[in-house]
């Protein structure tokens, strides 16, 4: 970040429309932008994980974070796109005599109001994960929290699930840093189970028999980690990693462990491996594929990621499965033995569909991704019931067919869009471009868009040097891009695609 003192001013000519100019005010990072002729000054670090916003882009009146693609309104500082929720600080600006100076902080803009004449009625949200929390938070942000009930089976207040395999597990963040913003005015029922949905009565029935009526029901039940099926998988020293309680339980055992076996070389499995290496443990990864991430990123990226993990000390056993675990030795399906003190499974998740299925909602075929089938407004086959997040099988206007995506930011953005739709603040159909990130030591991968498989791919740059853009096509058209070292390109692709630009390489 530049050390230019913005209190001393810069030339107005430096602030062309759409340009981001960094500097400081009293030691704080600040960015200047000119939007519709007006100069706006905002704090220069994303409120999510402190990414430098000077490295981001301006698009449709929003300042977009280069790391995790959070979005902020350039005029108000409001965080309008997850994973950030806290607004940016704002600063007063004086432009005169061909100079622009920042004079000091100004008050945060008041919370926005709901659209005139909109009555949201009684909204019940089942699930307080990424999708459910983001939906409720956006409703509450607009002053509609008193009409919202959120029911969460976990006893935890809403938290950022990505911390479970990344920062918290690695020891780089404490438990409190995973907390998501409070839901102001919302009736939040933690540790509460919904046993069924009575569609005729428009009510959900809780485990204690209580009926909660709704005008709109939002299913955000998320997904559950897949349990391994090898002999000994039910032992206490076999861990899943999905919930904060899972991370707590795993961390509590690490003090007595030296060697950990991770089964699964997916993004979660490899993030767990990197986090455990950061804690000084010896890590072995057992996976049935030939290369890590090959099914989503192709062999070139898979080989690079494997090499990176091996350089950090991870031992891979690829093309193999665990057949038996006795607490000291994992016997693989070829008879190989791998010694360890515990096993962590990262082999995927399954959508939690029990309530939706029992209520008779339309469920997509497994070949189409499974999940609750919804329309372009995220309504299920019962239009008083919406489904969002990991369980939602959603039409994708770019691909021309529905998809179900299990990514944290996708779930959050879906929840925020639905909230705005219920408040009457957006028109048209849901059409956000999927995005996720994955961190491995000093490597950060950004994935924008969606394809079923990386068979049709083209690489710009050098994968081995971790500076590349991997273009992924489906049906002969570019539909996704995976980048390393090219954060701005990932942002630009996301913006172009959400704006309806043609899918083309180059």
Angle between helices 267-278 and 294-311 (to 10 degrees): 10
Domains of the chain: 10-106 (2.102.10.10), 123-224+350-422 (3.50.50.60), 227-347 (3.50.50.60), 442-498 (3.30.390.30)
Q: List C-alpha distances in Å: 455 to 89, 111, 120.
A: 44, 46, 45
Looking at the predicted structure, is the pLDDT value of residue 116 above 90?
A: no
Locate the DSSP E strands across 176-215: 187-190, 194-198, 203-206, 211-213
- Which phi and psi angles does 15 have, rounded to 5°? -100, 70
| DSSP one-letter code for 457 | E
Q: Is the peptide bond before 251 cis (omega within 30 degrees of 0)?
A: no
Residues 427 and 449: beta-carbon distance below 8 Å: no
pLDDT in tens, 379-390: 999 999 999 999
pLDDT at position 108: 75
Mean pLDDT of 242-256: 96
Which residues are CB-neighbours of 24 under 8 A, at least 6 positions away?
Answer: 1, 2, 3, 4, 5, 6, 30
| DSSP one-letter code for 197 | E
Mean pLDDT of 141-145: 93
Q: Going edge to edge, which strands form the sheet with 38-43?
A: 10-11, 99-106, 90-96, 38-43, 28-35, 20-25
Looking at the predicted structure, is the pLDDT value of residue 113 above 70?
A: no
Q: List C-alpha distances in Å: 87 to 27, 102, 141, 258.
A: 19, 19, 12, 42
Taking the C-alpha atoms of 250, 252, 253 and 259 in order, what is their torsion angle to the nearest 10 degrees? 70
pLDDT in tens, 375-427: 999 999 999 999 999 999 999 999 999 999 999 999 999 999 999 999 999 99
Mean pLDDT of 236-261: 97
């Amino acid at each position: 970040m530049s050390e230019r003192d913005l209190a001393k001013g810069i030339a107005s000519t430096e602030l062309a429309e759409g340009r981001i100019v960094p500097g400081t005010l009293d030691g704080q990072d600040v960015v200047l932008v000119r939007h519709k002729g007006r100069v706006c000054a905002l704090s220069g670090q994303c409120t999510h994980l402190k990414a430098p916003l000077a490295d981001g882009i301006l698009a449709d009146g929003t300042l977009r974070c280069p790391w995790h693609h959070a979005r902020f309104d350039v005029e108000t500082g409001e965080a309008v796109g997850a994973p950030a929720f806290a607004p940016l600080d704002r600063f007063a600006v004086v432009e005169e005599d061909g100079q622009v100076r920042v004079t000091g902080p100004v008050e945060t803009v008041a919370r926005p109001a709901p659209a005139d004449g909109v009555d949201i009625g009684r909204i019940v949200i089942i699930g307080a994960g990424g999708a459910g929390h983001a939906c409720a938070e956006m409703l509450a942000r607009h002053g509609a929290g008193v009409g919202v009930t959120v029911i969460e089976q976990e006893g935890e207040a809403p938290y950022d699930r990505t911390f479970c395999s990344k920062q918290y597990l690695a020891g780089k963040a404490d438990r409190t840093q995973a907390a998501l913003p409070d839901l102001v005015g919302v009736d939040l029922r933690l540790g509460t189970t919904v046993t069924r949905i009575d569609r005729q009565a428009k009510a959900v029935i809780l485990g204690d028999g209580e009926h909660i009526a709704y005008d709109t029901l939002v299913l955000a039940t998320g997904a559950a980690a897949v349990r391994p099926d090898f002999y000994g998988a039910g032992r206490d020293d076999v861990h899943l990693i999905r919930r904060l309680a899972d991370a707590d339980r795993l961390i509590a055992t690490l003090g007595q462990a030296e060697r950990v076996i991770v089964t699964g070389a997916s993004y979660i499995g490899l993030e767990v491996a990197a986090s455990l290496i950061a804690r000084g443990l010896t890590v072995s990864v057992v996976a049935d594929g030939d290369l890590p991430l090959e099914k989503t990123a192709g062999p070139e990226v898979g080989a690079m990621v494997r090499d990176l993990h091996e350089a950090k000390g991870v031992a891979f056993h690829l093309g193999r499965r665990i057949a038996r675990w006795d607490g000291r030795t994992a016997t693989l399906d070829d008879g190989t033995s791998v010694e360890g003190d515990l096993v962590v499974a990262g082999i995927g998740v399954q959508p939690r569909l029990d309530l939706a299925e029992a209520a008779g909602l339309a469920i997509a075929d497994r070949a189409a991704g499974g999940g609750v089938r919804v329309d372009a407004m995220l309504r299920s086959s019962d239009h008083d019931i919406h489904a969002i997040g990991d369980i939602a099988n959603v039409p994708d206007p770019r691909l021309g067919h529905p998809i179900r995506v299990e990514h944290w930011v996708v779930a959050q953005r879906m929840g925020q869009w639905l909230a705005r739709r219920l408040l009457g603040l957006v028109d048209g159909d849901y059409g956000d471009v999927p995005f996720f990130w994955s961190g491995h030591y000093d490597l950060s991968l950004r994935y924008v868009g969606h394809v079923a498989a990386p068979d049709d791919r083209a690489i710009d740059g050098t994968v081995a040097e971790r500076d590349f853009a991997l273009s992924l096509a489906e049906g002969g058209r570019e539909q996704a891009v995976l980048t390393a070292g090219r954060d701005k390109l990932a942002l630009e692709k996301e913006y172009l695609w959400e704006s309806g630009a043609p899918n083309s390489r180059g």
